[in-house]
Each structure stands twice: as structure tokens, then as C-alpha cells.
Amino acid sequence: MQYYGSDHEVLQAAYDWLQQGHEPALVTVLKTWGSSPRPAGSLMVMRRDGVLTGSVSGGCVEEDLVQRYVDRQLSDSYLTCIDYGVNREDATRFGLPCGGRLELMVEQLNDIEQLHQLLDAMQQQQLMARHVELQTGKVSLEDARAEQDFVCTNIYVRKIFGPQWNMVLIGAGHLSQYVSQMALMLGYRVIVCDPREEYAQAWQVEGTELITIMPDDAVQKYCQQARSIVLALTHDPKLDDMALLDALQSAAFYIGAIGSRRNCELRRQRLKDLGVSTAQLQGLHAPVGLAIGSHTPAEIAVSVLAEITQQRNVLEQSEKQTVSIV
């Protein structure tokens, strides 16, 4: 089974339920204040018998919301916006951290063809924007760009579906299998590059894209945008260094390579001899991943994705603070 991230899982459930004759309602986190557990844009889908997929709080909000839907306490016309945790008493009651608050949008889903179009685009690794007019509930789909983010105004809500981040893995070995599986769950588009025939033939991770071109060509093709990640995972300097040489001179957000500290220092010197500047080398995470004492491929994959996630969260928080200042 191919995996395309949690958004796809929620939409697929809604699609399947519509086919089965259920009445699914889509819930979207519009805004958060304080320490709300889920970010804006998070999704959940629920149906009249209380079954749900996804989450909007990680606490008791889901239970209360589903019960209100089952009891038909929510409007069936157009859409409904709901506040949770507007005061300290409600925040405690619904399991939100003290001071937390979130605003939710609830939509009754009935356009199965539109859901099919959106799911198909995601499976084809295409970005799609879902645009909802708050006054009428009208929903439209349009092509999207990787740099677009979730937007909520007084007039409309726009959420981007599909992989907005490219992850290029150099090497189709054992470690890449674990890294790619975890990356798919996190919503990345995963491109695995390995020109070695014996490795390419053995690759079997569904949902990834396997290419057999040279690593530097792969970086030039897939990593010309800021929302790109390059991981050199072969232990073969002839392949890893080719990718890193181009990656460190690209717009890629995160660049990492496996190896011991000694081998990583030797790699840095080789790259420096090839013309990579000291400033550019500072962008190389090597050894890659957080230092959690990992040894097995699965543990190393956890450390790699943990560090990338940490770096992304720092970046996104910084961007939010910049916007709020402006």
C-alpha cells in the first residue's frame, strides 16, 4: 500500500465513506492561539455513527465535536466555524493546554468527484489548492505552488494538498528504505537516486520515485527550490560527494551525509578542495541526524527525520514571528 501522508489518509476515508453511503464531515483547524496541540491546516473527518480519522487537537475536542455531529447539533447548511478553549475553564475541559485555543471549520462533504480529483492529484505527486469561500461554502480546486502555505482570512480558506517538500536520497540501500518510509508518512515527495544497477533493481518502497541518473544530475533536477532536502546515504564518496558538491551550492534547505566524524571531516576537506566555500560547508549536516545513540538503520532514520523536523519547525516558527512583526 502506498502512503501519501496524513492529509491523503483523511481524504481517502471521506471518499470511501461517501461511496458507502455515509455522511462525512471534514474538520479543518483554522487558527490556533497559545499552546494548541495541532497546527492550522490540520484535518479530521467524521461520520454520523461516531467513527473518525485524523485529529485536530489530540485531546477531548474530537470526542465533543463528534458527539455534537452525531446528535445533529451542527448546522448542515454550508459550513460551521467553532471555537474551543476560549477561556481557561473550557481549555481545561477539552484537554487543551492552559491558555490554548483553536478555531475549527466543519464542512459537510458531498462532492465525491471533487474528492476523487484531489486524491488523484496527490497520488500523482501534484500540488493542489483547495479554496473554500466562508460565506457560501463553495469549494474550488486549482494548481498550487510549493511555496504557498495555509491561508485563513475572513473571506476564504486555502489549504495546499500534496508534497510541498522534495527529499532526494542518494543511494537505494537499507538505510534509505527506512528513511523513505518515514518521510512518506511525514508528507515528503521522496526521490531515490542510485545509478548502481544492483541497488536499483532491489528497491521496493512504494510511493517513492526511483531514478538511476547520476547524483549531481538528480540534485540539479529536483533541488532548485528552497523546500528541498538532500541526503547522501551510500558511504561511497564517488556518489555522495557528487551530490553534495551541487547540493551545497543550491537553494536546498537541508543537506546531510552519513559517516563517522573522521570520514565526514575528510569529506569536508575533499569538498573544499573542489571549490566549496567554508560558508557553504557550514550547511552540511555530517554526521547526519540528532545524536541519540542510534546504531540500527531504523534508529538512524529516526534521528535523521527528527533533526530535519526540528530544523523545519525552527524555520517555520521564525517565519511566523517575522510575519507577525511586519
Give the pLDDT band (50/70/90) at residue 88.
Answer: low
Say yes or no to pLDDT of 48 above 90: yes
| Span of 16-25, 95-104, 138-147 with lowest mean pLDDT | 95-104
pLDDT in tens, 195-232: 999 999 999 999 999 999 999 999 999 998 899 999 99
Give the pLDDT band (50/70/90) at residue 120.
Answer: very high
Give the pLDDT band (50/70/90) at residue 74.
Answer: confident
pLDDT at 161: 95
Say yes or no to pLDDT of 105 above 80: yes
Say yes or no to pLDDT of 118 above 80: yes
Rounded to 10°, the helix 215-222/237-247 angle is 30
Cell, residue 195: 545509478
Euclidean distance between CA atoms 99 and 84, whole angstroms: 11
What would the mean pLDDT of 183-194 be, rounded to a whole number? 94
What would the mean pLDDT of 294-314 be, rounded to a whole number? 95
Using CA atoms, how far residue 152 sits from 23, 54, 76, in Å, is: 25, 20, 21
pLDDT at 39: 87
pLDDT at 233: 97
Euclidean distance between CA atoms 12 and 262, whole angstroms: 47
Q: Long-range CB contacts (< 8 A, 24+ apart) of 261-265?
A: 261/287
CB atoms within 10 A of CB 267: 20
Euclidean distance between CA atoms 21 and 18, whole angstroms: 5
Going edge to edge, which strands form the sheet with 79-84? 52-54, 43-46, 25-33, 101-108, 79-84
In the chain, % of residues over pLDDT 90: 74
pLDDT at 224: 85
pLDDT at 101: 81
Q: In the predicted model, what is the mean pLDDT of the chain?
A: 90
CA nearest 258: which of 275, 241, 272?
241
Give the pLDDT band (50/70/90) at residue 117.
Answer: very high
What would the mean pLDDT of 120-135 be, rounded to a whole number? 93
Q: Is the link from the previous residue into 24 a cis peptide, with omega within 30 of 0?
A: no
Say yes or no to pLDDT of 91 above 70: no
Query: Which of helix, strand or coil describes residue 28?
Result: strand
pLDDT at 285: 97
pLDDT at 92: 59
pLDDT at 1: 44
What would the mean pLDDT of 150-177 be, rounded to a whole number? 95
Give the pLDDT band (50/70/90) at residue 6.
Answer: confident
| Span of 11-25, 83-97, 229-243, 284-298 with lowest mean pLDDT | 83-97
| pTM (whole model) above 0.95 | no
Q: How far apart are the first and last CA of the chain?
A: 44
Residue spans of the domains in the chain: they are 6-161, 166-312
Domain formed by 166-312, architecture: 3-Layer(aba) Sandwich (3.40)
Say yes or no to pLDDT of 323 above 70: no
